[in-house]
Structure formats: C-alpha cells, structure tokens
Amino acid sequence: MKTTYATDFMNHVRKHHRYLIQSKSPNRANFAELVGSADDRIKVAELVKTKEFSKLIAETTSEEADHIINVLEKHLYSTGNNTVVLYSLKEIEDIVYDRSKLNELGTVHLLLTDRYLSDSKSKNRIQRLLQISKNKKVKTRIVNAENPAGTRISQFGGIVFFSTPTKQRAD
C-alpha cells in the first residue's frame, strides 16, 4: 500500500509496451494488482494462499481464455486465411509431433478444458502432448470447463488446436 510500484509498472507498460495492453493484440497480457507485503519468500507464500489472490488469478486467466476464444472465433468465421483448426486428439498429435508441419504455421494454440483432461481415458497421451507442445512453443491453456471459454471449447469436444498465420511483411 505504501509504494507506487504497480502504478509505475503499468505506466511503463502503457508508455513503452502498449501492445501488451491493446485489447485486439494477439500478444495481449492481463494484469491485476494485489495489495500486500512481498518482502520475502514467507510473505509471498502467505500472499499466494489468500482468497483474494485466488480470485485475481481466476479473473485474469478467465479474461485471457476469453481473449483466446475470441481469436479462435474470428478465424473460424473468416475465409482464405490459411488458419488450421483441429479438434481431434489424433490430428492434433500428428501436427504437433511433426516439426516441419508445425513450423509452417504461425502462432499456434492448444486449448483444453480441465474436464476433458480429468475425464479422458488417454491422460498419458494428453500429458505427453501438453509437454511436447510447450517444448515446441505452442501456446497451451487448460481452461475451466465452467467458464464461457470452457463451454465453447467443450463444443469442440473439450480440446481444440488452432493456428493464426503470421502476417506477411510488405518490403
């Protein structure tokens, strides 16, 4: 409460890294402020255990998931943009495990619901897919099935993979 670190940080982001807070940016980040002492590890651990911390994490991850779903929706309804959308575990594995196919794609997202992960009979396959995806810089997210974003992913069977093509630069 006694410092202006959060305000100073957000002012810096607004001034020097505007793309991080622009609502339509694919690289947008979500920020939240939590008031409390974080002078040492013990205080940080205590802060992390608070209900307010849990609430802020839930809100910011929900906002991020909603943003990613909006990106997915935009690409589902546009034509001719070379977007790939997959919702079969086998098809997703095939493209993630094939480095040449994956490298041809732009920004790649793998989204699944927590319910899909917990109820699946192929947990080992999914865990392997998640780990390899992270290693290959695929943006992976496990979304609460009860959130609006989770409900939308559930309509795809609980898992969805999509790419957004990189923009071609005009020289």
Lowest-confidence segment of 96-105, 129-138, 159-168 by average pLDDT: 159-168
User: Using one digit for the tens of pLDDT, what is the confidence trace for 64-81?
Assistant: 777 788 878 877 776 566
Task: Say which residue, 22 or 97, is predicted with more confidence.
Answer: 97
Q: How far is CA 76 from CA 79, 80, 142, 145, in A?
A: 8, 11, 20, 20
- Of the candidates 92, 69, 82, 85, the one whose C-alpha atom is nearest the C-alpha of residue 141 is 69
Ramachandran assignment for 141, one of left (phi > 0), alpha (psi -120 to 50 degrees), beta (any other): beta
Domain limits, the chain: 32-164
The position carrying tokens 């906002």 is 63
CATH of 32-164, one of 3.40.50.720, 3.30.1330.30, 3.40.50.80, 3.30.70.100: 3.30.1330.30
User: Using one digit for the tens of pLDDT, what is the confidence trace for 22-71?
Assistant: 766 666 778 888 888 888 889 888 888 889 888 888 777 777 777 788 87
Ramachandran assignment for 75, one of left (phi > 0), alpha (psi -120 to 50 degrees), beta (any other): alpha
Question: Is pLDDT above 80 for 152?
Answer: yes
Helices (H), 77-171: 89-97, 99-104, 114-119, 123-135, 148-154
Q: pLDDT band at residue 169, thresholds of 50, 70 and 90?
A: very low
